[in-house]
Chain A
Amino acid sequence: MFELLGIPPQALFGQLLLGLINGAFYAMLSLGLAVIFGMLNVINFTHGAQYMMGAFAAWLMLTILDIPFWVALVLAPIVVGLFGVVLEKVMLKRIYHLDHLYGFLLTFGLALVIEGLFQWKWGSSGAPYPSPIPGGTNLGFMFLPTYRGFVVVAALVICLVTWYGIERTRLGAYLRAATENPTLVRAFGINVPRLITLTYGLGVGLAALAGVLAAPIQQVSALMGTNLVLVVFAVVVIGGMGSIMGSIVTGFGLGLVEGLTKVFYPPASNTVIFVVMAIVLLVKPAGLFGQTK
């Protein structure tokens, strides 16, 4: 077998795949954050908890109701998305006119409460979720578990569908216009408050969808979203707040950067994204794809 820079290819490609998978989750989660921030002007710190709720919903559906993975993949995001709709109607809509800080406090507090409740009910050790597509393929230079390959492709499709929906459809045009000037869009006869509720529901549903996809890879546990969401916020900052394509490209890109760091300088792998964030903020404060408002 060949070697690259003294690194065995199994290690290199293995880490690249891991990076790609992490990147897929970064992309899906930062996409939802970007959509929500653009429309609501709220940084949704509950995103990680909602991702966890997606995984839990799938796990509960499987263990209690015997609902298979593929059905849960559709059902769990709808259930968690509806929970988001209620959250928006009951709480979030009351704070739009206030400073960003209140949105932060509310969504951060909600995340703590939700994760606390799940931890109290199901503990924090986590439960396994069986892989819906077991097995894998030996590609010669590495072993590719089928489900992981599926996750990368599914995440790409989800990201592109979301991008298309926002950039190329009528509803997306309403969303983009309302992000810029909600007052005028409303004066054209569009029910902007309902559009905002819908956007939040969709963003939360997207987080839950990522959670369902993550369930067979990770342990389903109350705190599975907390660590991930920290990195995702860094991804959003690097990509540029509110940029859709920025979130997708940065998400996958940073996953790969992280994977490569694990190969070449493992001690830095946990911090590399934050180093990138610091550099980007110094050079381009609005983020790689961001526009200064």
Chain B
Amino acid sequence: MPWCRKSRQSSKPMSVPVMAEALLKAPLLKVDGLQAWYGESHILHGVDFEIGHGELVTLLGRNGAGKTTTLKSVMGIVEKRSGSVTFEGRQLVGHPSNEIARLGIAYCPEERGIFSSLNVEENLLLPPVVKPGGMSLAEIYQLFPNLEERKRSQGTKLSGGEQQMLAIGRILRTGAPLLLLDEPTEGLAPVIVQRIGEIIRELKSRGFTILLVEQNFHFAATVADRHYVMEDGRVVDMIASADVQQNIGKLQAYLGV
């Protein structure tokens, strides 16, 4: 397993100032040789990538490449995983999802996960605050005025776009610096997709670090710094947004568009 060797090689001794600098430059999230299983099926076969503080990185790939499973594995909600996932230097593999969330990672699932037995405001207030510095309810309503208008409505009575905004808005209160967003544009009208793009850029400018799973590559290219391409449960390539034009042919081959 190549990732094992890689992580051991990096453990050479450092002087104190070099170490401090290394900590600042160290990635916020580092995934090394991550493997995951659902029951008997082996889904991830050694995923490696990293995200720096304040970066916006996407996972691209075809259906079934393992993008959603990667997010779920970071979050700790797959049945079985191995390898290494570190967040702010702390190992996440082996910890349950409630502890991982408390460290400062917030998750917005693909199916949005709006609770039908809760109204809009109860949905917004559900995830507990895990770190200081999260957005207030007023700030979230400022970002999503529709949600305030409908705060007493049953969560699942909202339109698809509003539900997506609720699912994103809900995790901004928690103070978690890392957001995992799973296909926030899926099934939405172009004008809503555009609005979600604006919101994601706004969140990045507020200092959030974002790991975004996207099928819609054109959308991803407009918001992200870098793109990791996944195939068959592995990361097979990394392309910076600035280099997307030169690599367009390669990307199209990866994504089969």
Which residues does A use to contact B, with CB under 8 Å? 170, 173-174, 176-177, 179-181, 183-192
Contact = CB atoms under 8 A, between A and B. Distances in A.
Given A173-B125, A173-B126, A191 B98 contact: yes
28 contacts: A173-B118, A173-B122, A173-B125, A173-B126, A174-B126, A176-B117, A177-B117, A177-B118, A177-B126, A183-B97, A185-B126, A186-B77, A187-B75, A187-B76, A187-B97, A187-B107, A188-B107, A188-B126, A188-B127, A188-B128, A188-B171, A188-B174, A189-B101, A189-B102, A189-B127, A189-B174, A190-B98, A192-B98
B100 to A, nearest CB: 8
Chain B interface size range:
20 to 34
Contacts of B117: 176-177, 179-180
A181 B115 contact: yes
A23 to B, nearest CB: 26
Nearest to A181: B113
Task: Classify the secondary structure of B's interface with A.
Answer: loop
Contacts of A186: 77, 96-98, 101
A84 to B, nearest CB: 22
Given A177-B117, A181-B113, A187-B77, A170 B125 contact: yes
Contact of B115 (A177, A187, A192): A177
Nearest to B171: A188
B247 interface: no
Contacts of A174: 126
B109 interface: yes
A36 to B, nearest CB: 17
Interface of B: 75-77, 96-98, 100-102, 106-107, 109, 113, 115-118, 122, 125-128, 130, 171, 174
B19 to A, nearest CB: 30
Contacts of A180: 115-117
A186 B76 CA distance: 10
Nearest to B72: A187
A186 B126 CA distance: 11
A176 B96 contact: no
Nearest to B170: A188
A98 to B, nearest CB: 16
Among A177, A189, A192, max chain B CB count under 10 A is at A189
Nearest to A168: B122
A166 to B, nearest CB: 10
A187 B101 contact: yes
Contacts of B101: 186-189
Nearest to B117: A176
Q: What 8 pairs across the A-B complex have the smallest Cβ distances?
A: A189-B101, A188-B127, A176-B117, A187-B97, A184-B113, A177-B115, A189-B102, A186-B98
Contacts of B100: 187
A155 B68 CA distance: 48
Given A183-B77, A191-B98, A176 B130 contact: no
Contacts of A179: 117
Nearest to A184: B113
B202 to A, nearest CB: 22
A181 B77 CA distance: 12
B229 to A, nearest CB: 26
- Counting chain B CB atoms within 10 Å of each CB, which of A174, A177, A190 scores highest? A177
